[in-house]
């Protein structure tokens, strides 16, 4: 069968690649055409557009790039019509995907969504559009099934694919890793400033402002696959800061603590059992718009899933050198870390265990074979 998959950002590329591998187990004749990244391309099929071509952060940035976005939407519709897939699989990336889904449903394509848009965070009215335009929804967070049920929409909870992504990786050789990247013997504090240039610029300077106060540790920046080392160089002004590109999981596996930009990375850090401080700062326009439409108590997935403050969130004005230093000192204290480990263990149990990609792929394939 022919699968047209649309994913955005590095995380969508990761989950899309694992879903593709799982679909091949179900359908040996699977043919893929997709929007994604290097990981999906490595599985096979045709990469139409790389996620780097449409990486826009926040409301203001989207508005500034509207012409390009509408051009990509038009191109995507034409490409789907030419390919004539048996199913279109959307992965997260709601701003783009829901626009394509509306058109696709009108054109009678089968529409499946893997990793729900965060409609539970803002603009819940989008649920009605999802019910109208999406044939099958596969959710990865435990509270999403109940959320959709309250709107009389039955979805499939398949567990979180990060469980598999982390469990299936080879154990890192710490001595070799440190040697390859010029790291010394000091404990590591990982810095995860995000993947887009706009957020890295806002986050990294603040994160690095505490380096001088923690000389017994070394700080290591986790470089995103979408950015080159030259971009990060402008921020590195001390020899107690190192850089690792596109090896975030290996870095987290040997880290003592982490400063993490809000997003999927907060959950990844928790699953590696690394104490963290969650950081978030947007431009003023984007932040004030977000405040008016987002109704959640927390911004990190860790706290949202646990429904309590497990990790500290420093947001906008609270993200400053003084408070970041204070919170980092706290998570480096052993008495505080013990409770964090217990909460992280409970979090992993709530996420439903291994097999998310396989469960989603089987449901997708079974649905398609029944309807043919």
Domains of the chain and any CATH numbers: 2-159+355-371 (3.40.50.2000), 167-350 (3.40.50.2000)
Q: End-to-end alpha-carbon separation of the chain, Å?
A: 11
Closest CA to 9 of 260, 230, 227: 227
pLDDT at 291 exceeding the cut of 90 = no
pLDDT at 140 exceeding the cut of 90 = yes
Which residue matches tokens 């049920």? 149
Percentage of the chain lying above the pLDDT 90 cut: 68
Confidence band for 40, pLDDT divided at 50, 70 and 90: very high
Mean local confidence (pLDDT), 24-30: 96
pLDDT at 62: 60
Instruction: Name the 3-class secondary structure at 51.
Output: helix
Mean local confidence (pLDDT), 278-286: 71
Mean local confidence (pLDDT), 356-363: 96
pLDDT at 129: 93
Side-chain half-sphere CA neighbours of 339 within 13 A: 8
Rounded Cα–Cα distance for residues 297 and 304 (Å)? 8
Q: pLDDT: is 192 or 93 the higher one?
A: 192
pLDDT at 9: 82
pLDDT at 316: 82
Rounded Cα–Cα distance for residues 9 and 285 (Å)? 23
Candidate from 244-253, 266-275, 285-294, 304-313 with smallest mean pLDDT: 285-294
Give yes or no for a contact between 154 and 134, defined as CB atoms under 8 angstroms apart: no
To the nearest whole number, what is the mean pLDDT of the chain? 90
Mean local confidence (pLDDT), 225-241: 86
Q: Name the strands in the sheet holding 257-261, side by side, starting at the edge strand that comes first in the sequence.
A: 241-245, 218-223, 188-192, 257-261, 276-280, 312-315
Confidence band for 317, pLDDT divided at 50, 70 and 90: confident
pLDDT at 55: 60
pLDDT at 227: 86
pLDDT at 164 exceeding the cut of 60 = yes
Tell me the pTM. 0.80
Mean local confidence (pLDDT), 35-46: 95
Confidence band for 10, pLDDT divided at 50, 70 and 90: confident
pLDDT at 64: 62
pLDDT at 226 exceeding the cut of 90 = no
pLDDT at 206 exceeding the cut of 90 = yes
Mean local confidence (pLDDT), 358-370: 95
Instruction: Write the pLDDT tens digit of every residue in 52-108.
Output: 876 655 555 566 666 777 888 999 999 999 999 999 999 988 888 999 999 999 999
pLDDT at 289 exceeding the cut of 50 = no
pLDDT at 56: 53
The values of phi and psi at residue 107, to 5°, are: -90, 5
């Amino acid at each position: 069968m022919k699968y047209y998959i649309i994913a955005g950002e590095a995380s969508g590329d990761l989950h899309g690649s694992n879903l593709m591998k799982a679909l091949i187990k179900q359908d040996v004749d699977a043919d893929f055409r997709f929007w994604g990244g290097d990981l999906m391309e490595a599985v096979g099929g045709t990469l139409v557009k790389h996620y780097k071509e449409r990486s826009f952060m926040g409301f203001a940035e989207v508005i500034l790039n509207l012409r390009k976005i509408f051009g990509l939407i038009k191109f995507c519709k034409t490409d789907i019509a030419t390919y004539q897939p048996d199913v279109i699989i959307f992965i997260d990336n709601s701003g783009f995907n829901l626009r394509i889904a509306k058109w696709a449903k009108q054109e009678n394509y089968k529409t499946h969504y893997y990793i729900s848009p965060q409609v539970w965070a803002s603009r819940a009215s989008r649920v009605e559009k999802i019910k109208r335009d999406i044939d099958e929804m596969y959710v990865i967070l435990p509270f999403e099934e109940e959320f959709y049920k309250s709107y009389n929409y039955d979805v499939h909870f398949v567990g979180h694919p990060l469980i598999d992504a982390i469990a299936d990786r080879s154990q890192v050789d710490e001595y070799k890793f440190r040697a390859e990247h010029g790291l010394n013997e000091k404990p590591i504090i990982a810095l995860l400033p995000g993947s887009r240039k706009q957020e890295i610029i806002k986050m990294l300077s603040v994160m690095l402002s505490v380096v001088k106060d923690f000389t017994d540790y070394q700080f290591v920046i986790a470089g995103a696959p979408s950015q080159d080392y030259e971009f990060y160089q402008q921020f590195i002004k001390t020899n107690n800061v190192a850089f690792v590109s596109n090896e975030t999981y290996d870095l987290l596996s040997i880290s003592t603590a982490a400063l993490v930009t809000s997003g999927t990375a907060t959950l990844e850090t928790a699953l590696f059992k690394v104490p963290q401080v969650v950081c978030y700062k947007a431009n003023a326009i984007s932040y004030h718009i977000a405040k008016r439409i987002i109704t959640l108590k927390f911004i990190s997935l860790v706290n949202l899933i646990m429904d309590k403050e497990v990790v500290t969130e420093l947001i906008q004005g609270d993200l400053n050198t003084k408070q970041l230093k204070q919170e980092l000192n706290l998570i480096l204290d052993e008495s505080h870390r013990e409770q964090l480990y217990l909460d992280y263990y409970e979090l992993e149990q709530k996420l439903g265990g291994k097999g998310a990609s396989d469960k989603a792929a089987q449901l997708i394939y079974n649905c398609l074979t029944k309807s043919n």
